[in-house]
Structure 1
Amino acid sequence: MSRTTGNFDDFGMDTITLAGSLGAKLTAIREAGFSQVMLKANDIVGHEGGVDAAVRLVKASGLRVTGFQVLRDFEGLSGHLHDYKVDMAKSMLEMARALGAPVLLACSSVSQHATQDLDAIAKDLRKLAMLAVPLGIKVAFEGLSWGRTINEFTTAWDVVCRADAPNLGLGLDSFHAFATQTSLDELDMLDPRKIFLVQLADFMWQEIRSVEERITTARHFRVFPGEGVHSVQVADLVTRLAALGYRGDYSFEVFNDDYQQMPLPLVAQRARASAEWLGEQVLRRSVPLPNRMRLAR
């Protein structure tokens, strides 16, 4: 397949989008023309040959690893709960190192057992970052839109700044920003050098009316950028980040039950069409008008 010129290589796929084995996912992503992949832990530990075989498969694929996901509910705990989560974090960091993943994604806690004190949360994130230092890994902290205390990227940025660790930065997810209707003007306060990962997705309705609907949409009904009703917002987000000075990776984190029932090459081609739109039109500042975008099929 011929490669697209320009900014196509800035974009990658998450294995979380595709059904099937790890090997089949990697093949579909590579054959669609992508050069990078965001890996989820289940694909590695669930590989039939074991973790070591999964690592070899990823390295043999020729795909660059964007990052590794996802550490959940780490921050704000105490006592044995904190110790337990530290053990989980160490395990995930070791897998990330084995895979050559430069970034571990950590999501904000939803636990009712976690403190809501931002300084305590920042202290825990600093500890997580320090655990990652000897392994040469960065930690991207993302605010889930249903997080108990941190549910917007603005508050996630606050605790990242409080933690003040060089290898701790922000993970941005377009779905969560759109779900909470956080103003994209808030991006201006971010340091682009501390944005470690940007994950992109769209969805099919304008508003999300409850936390329950937010969770359901996030886990089952995301679509690729440009396939939903937020094309203009996705384009705005990407162009704002480019203007801010962000030059890192974008990965498509698209949870979609329908895609799980489609042949992998077809899903990967939808992702490619989205990457071509973003790379060739949006990042070249030719942003489509509302309802004018059409993905190639």
Structure 2
Amino acid sequence: MFKDIGMDTISLAGPLHAKLRAMREAGFTQVMLAAKDLVGHPDGWQAAVEEVRGSGLRVTGFQVLRDFEGLSGHLHDYKVDIARSMIEMCAALRSPVLLACSSTSVHASDDRAHIARDLRKLAMMALPFGIRVAYEGLSWGRHLNDVPGAWDVVQRADAPNLGLGIDSYHSFATQTPLEALHGVDAAKIFLVQLSDFMWQEVRTVEERIDTARHFRVFPGEGVHSEAIVRLVRLLDGMGYRGDYSFEVFNDDYQQLPLATVAQRAQRSATWLAADVLRRALPLPGRAPLRP
């Protein structure tokens, strides 16, 4: 069983209950959920919550609050209202983490003090529910698109339950050097999402978005395996002991049987645990992938 490596529902096709079963049968003990998993349920979002609880899977986190920070006036009020609803669903799932990504809005301010103030407000909204907010630098974010920028505003906000979400795809897409993590407090990294892709670089913002949303693969399947090894081992050496979630958007996987995709994730998790983190294999006899 994989104790701190989980799958995201976005990698699988089909209804929520079937996705949860496929993950569990592949040896996963946790799941990363999106708001559409809940609101798209035919019996309502509360029924989806009950399915998740009944699955026995631990919830890694809940995503994703977009374009929250840097707004003013009625736009800010609107996003605060949206955030309240997201926090309500996150709390119902007993999710420890709400993921928020950096804004792409043309209406958002680039003033980092303003951004930090809004993120602190979001964190304070989540605090009574015991929810931590993981802020991620989206690689096509309008003003913040990498780990250094996200870490800067997290520090400025200075909220106990506000930290970083790190996504390997976004770091590779922006070619953010690993050295950027050296000044980050590992205790303030709340979530690490991993994926790979099949080409060495993405040259335009459009290609970056298209690759992110349609062509990611599981760690160990793409051409950035060595970079994933370096990233994960650095995080482990820094003292990160949180969860790793496979954030894999892939149109091909949406056309394959659930078990087939879950088995690919299983091989990736085995490689990550045994070859990268050098732990005992959770599923003996499975051949690990090689970087």
Q: TM tier, shorter chain?
A: over 0.9
Aligned pair 1:154/2:148, yes or no?
yes
The reply to whether residue 235 of structure 1 matches residue 233 of structure 2 is: no
Structure 1 distance, partners of 2:288, 2:244, is 21
Which of 212, 217, 237 is the aligned partner of 1:218? Answer: 212
Q: Cα deviation per residue 1:194-241 (whole Å; 9 max; x = unaligned)?
A: 000000000000011100000000000000000000000001000000
Calculate percent identity across the aligned residue pairs: 70
Q: CA deviation at 1:295?
A: 3.2
Confirm or deny that 1:175 pairs with 2:169: yes
Aligned equivalent of 1:198: 192
Contact 2:270 2:288 in 1 (8 A): no
**Per-residue CA distance 1:103-150 (angstroms, 9 max, x = gap):** 000000000000000010000000000000111100000000000001
Show the counterpart of 2:284.
Answer: none
How far the C-alpha of 1:51 sits from its partner, in A, is: 1.1
Matches within 5 A, 1:1-297: 3=1, 8-284=2-278, 295=289
Give CA deviations for 1:153-190 in whole Å, capped at 9, x if unaligned: 11000000000000000000000000000001111111
Write the deviation string for residues 16-56 of structure 1: whole angstroms up to 9, x where unpaired: 11111111110111110000000000011101111111111
Instruction: Provide the aligned length of Structure 1 versus Structure 2.
Output: 284
Is the 2:17–2:51 Cα contact (8 Å) retained in structure 1? yes
Deviations 1:220-273 (A, max 9, x none): 000000000000000100000000000000000000000000001110110010
Give, as a single letter, the amino acid of the residue that structure 1 aligns with 2:229: A
Is the 8 Å Cα contact of residues 52 and 93 (structure 2) preserved in structure 1? yes
TM-score, normalization by structure 2: 0.96
2:34 maps to amino acid: K
Normalising by structure 1, what TM-score? 0.94
Q: Distance in 2 between matches of 1:114 and 1:234?
A: 32
Per-residue CA distance 1:63-92 (angstroms, 9 max, x = gap): 000000000000000000000000000000
Over 3 Å off, 4+ runs? 293-296
Alignment RMSD, CA only? 1.4
CA distance in 2, matches of 1:14, 1:143: 19
User: What CA distance in whole angstroms lies between the structure 2 residues aligned with 1:52 and 1:224?
Assistant: 30
The amino acid that maps onto 1:40 is: A
Paired amino acid for 2:22: A
**Separation in 2, partners of 1:211, 1:294:** 33
Distance 2:100 2:254 in 1: 24
